[in-house]
Structure 1
Amino acid sequence: MTEQAFIEIVFVIGAYLLGSVSFGIVVSKLFGLPDPRTVGSGNPGATNVLRSGKKLAALLTLLGDAFKGWFAVWLAIFCGLSNEVVCFVALAVFIGHLYPVYYRFKGGKGVATALGVLLALSGWLGLAVLLTWAAVFAISRYSSLAALVAAILAPAYSWFLISSVGYIIVVFILTIFLVWRHRSNIVKLLNGTESGFGKK
C-alpha cells in the first residue's frame, strides 16, 4: 500500500467516525435534556431537540451536525485529494451520521449533515437547497416536507451548479438515503398525522 493510498483510507475512515458523532445526543446531555432518541420522534436531530423547548440546544445540534459534514469534505478538498476520494469522504461522513458506530448504528435522518456536505461541494448548491428548505417550511410548517422537497430538488440543482460528475452522483445518493430515512414521515404526511410546528 502506498503512502497516498493510506492517507486516503484514513480520511474516509476518519470521516465516518466524525459523522458518527451525534450532536443531538451530546448537546442534550450537556443541557441536561432527555436523550432525543427517547422522546418525540426518537430522531437525534435538531428538529426533535427543538421539541424540548431549548432553542439554543436545537441550534447547536443543527450547526454541529452540519459542520461535521462540511468539515470532512472541506478538509479533503483542502488537502488536495482527488475528486473520487472526496466523494467517498462525503458519503462516509453522511453514512456515519445515519449509522453511527458509537450508537449501535442507529442515527439521525441526515438532513443537517447532508446540507453541510453540499455546502462543501458547492456553496451555491448548499445555498439553493437551504433556501428551498426554508421556503417550503415557511409555507407548510412541516420540517419533514421541507427536507423532502429540498432533497428531491438537490440533484436538479447540482446538474446546473456542479461540473464534477462524481459530485453529482454523490448528491443523487444523498437524496435516495434522505427520502428512504423519511419514509415514515411520508406516510404521516399522506394520512395527515405528521407533526408540524405551530399546528394542532
Structure 2
Amino acid sequence: MEQLISISLGYIFGCFQTSFLIGRLYKKVDIRQFGSGNAGTTNAIRVLGWKAGVLTFLGDSLKAILAIFLIRLFYNDQVFALYTGLGVVIGHNFPFYLKFKGGKGIAATSGVLLAFDYRIALVACLTFIVIVALTRYVSLGSLFIATWTPIAIYLFYPDRLEMLILGLIFMSLAYYKHMGNIKRLLKGEENKLGQKKSA
C-alpha cells in the first residue's frame, strides 16, 4: 500500500507539464507539435528559447523534489523516495490528460536524484555537463544519467535490492523514451545542442 501511495502521489506531481504550460502561455503553441515533439527541456530550448528551457528544467526538477519532500513527511525509508520519484517520471512521460504524450523524464530524474541523494545527483550533474560540453549531444548526457542511476544505487546502497530494481526501471524508462535518439547517435545523425528543429 505504501508503494502504491508513493507512486500515485508522484504521478500526480509528474503530470505537471512545465514546457507544455509555458508554450501555451508564452507563445500560444502546443510544444509537442514542434521540433522533436517532446515536452521536455531540450525541445523547449530549441522551440521556445533558452529562458523557456531553463524554466522547464527547473519546473520539471522541482516537481520531483516537492513530491519526495511530501512523501517523506509520512515515510522515512529512502525506498519510498524512489517510488515517488518513479511516479513523477511516469507522470511526466505519460500524462493522462495529454493523451500520455509527455517528455523523456531526464529533468524529472535529476530532481529525483537530488532529493534522494545529493552525492549521486552531483556526479550525474557534473558528468552530464562535461559530456554535453564536449559533444553537444544532450541525449548522450541524458543516457549517462539514466545509466548512472542504478549503478550509483548499487554503489551507495549495496544491500537494498528493491532500490536497485527501481534504479533499473528508471534506466529502462529513459532508454525506451530515447530509442530514437540512440538510433540517430549510432548513425551520426543526432541533433546537437544549438541546432534548430523545424515544425
Please tell me the TM-score bracket, short chain as reference: 0.7 to 0.9
Q: Which 10-residue stretch deviates more, 45-54 or 175-184?
A: 45-54
**Matched residues, number:** 195
Report the equivalent of 1:26. Answer: 21
Residue 155 of structure 2 aligns to which amino acid in structure 1?
F
Against the structure 1 CA distance between its residues 163 and 30, is the aligned structure 2 distance closer, same or farther, given a 3 Å change threshold? farther
1:15 to 5, 10, 15: 10
Query: Is contact 1:66–1:117 with CA below 8 Å preserved after alignment?
Result: yes
Residue 121 of structure 1 and its aligned partner are, at CA, apart by: 1.1
Residues 89, 153 of structure 1: alpha-carbon distance in 2 compared, 3 angstrom cutoff? closer
1:175 is the counterpart of 2:171 = yes
Superposition TM-score, scaled by structure 2 size: 0.88
CA spacing shift, 1:101–1:79, aligned 2, 3 Å: same
Query: What displacement does 1:39 show?
Result: 0.7
CA RMSD, 1 decimal = 2.2
- TM-score, normalized by length of structure 1? 0.87
Residue 35 of structure 1 corresponds to which residue in structure 2? 30
Moved more, 127-136 or 154-163: 154-163
Residue 10 to residue 159, structure 1, CA distance change in 2 (3 Å): closer
Per the alignment, do residues 8 and 158 of structure 1 end up closer, same or farther by CA in structure 2, a change over 3 Å counting?
closer
Letter in 1 for 2:134: I
For residues 175 and 160 of structure 1, what CA distance do their matches in structure 2 show?
16
Given that residues 33 and 52 in structure 1 are in contact (C-alpha distance below 8 angstroms), is that contact kept between their aligned partners in structure 2? no
Asked which structure has the greater RCO (Cα within 8 Å, sep 6+), the reply is 2
Q: Which residue of 1 aligns with 2:188?
A: 192
Conserved 8 A contact 1:124-1:161: no
Give the letter for the 1:133 counterpart: F
User: Which residue among 119, 123, 126 is the counterpart of 1:124?
Assistant: 119
Query: Following the alignment from structure 1 to structure 2, what is the Cα–Cα distance between the partners of residues 87 and 118?
Result: 9
Unpaired runs of at least 5, structure 1? none
Which residue in the other structure is 2:86 paired with?
91
Aligned residues of 1:133 and 1:149 also touching (Cα < 8 A): yes
Query: Aligned ranges for residues 108-123 of structure 1 at < 5 Å?
Result: 108-123=103-118
Greater CA drift, 74-83 or 179-188? 74-83
Contact 1:129 1:151 in 2 (8 A): no
Quick one: percent identity of the two aligned structures? 32
Q: Distance in 2 between matches of 1:125 and 1:42?
A: 30
